[in-house]
Amino acid sequence: MVALAQETQNVEDLKKEILQLREDVDLIQMNLAEGETKFKRGIVVATIGYCVTIAGGLMLGRSQDDLGKVLLVSGGATGITGTVMMVDAFKYLGRAGKSSQRH
């Protein structure tokens, strides 16, 4: 009788562990998806910013010199913003690797 009670307890503990693992996997998948979305947005913003910077650099020394200077600064700021967005997306990878506290 005691062995049956112990076996039942072991089965219940195993079920709880499986449910906890499922919850952890779901959380990891959610964080990875969120990180991927934010990383892709950062890539787009950085690419646009650095393209604008290149266009501004090409305009320097020509008839549109003032516009080139503005594009250099604004494109650089946009590119840096996109880079920061990409770096910020990595925080979701850190969260994805941490499982919740187990009891």
Q: pLDDT per residue over 23-77, tens digit each?
A: 989 988 888 888 899 999 999 999 999 999 999 999 998 888 999 999 999 999 9
Q: How far apart are the first and last CA of the chain?
A: 28
So what's the pLDDT on residue 98?
64
102: in domain: no
Residue span of the structural domain in which 17 resides: 2-97
Q: What residue type is assigned to position 7 of the chain?
A: E
Most distant CA pair in the chain: distance in Å?
95
58: in domain: yes
103: in domain: no
12: in domain: yes
Question: Number of folded domains in the chain?
Answer: 1
So what's the pLDDT on residue 103?
43
11: in domain: yes
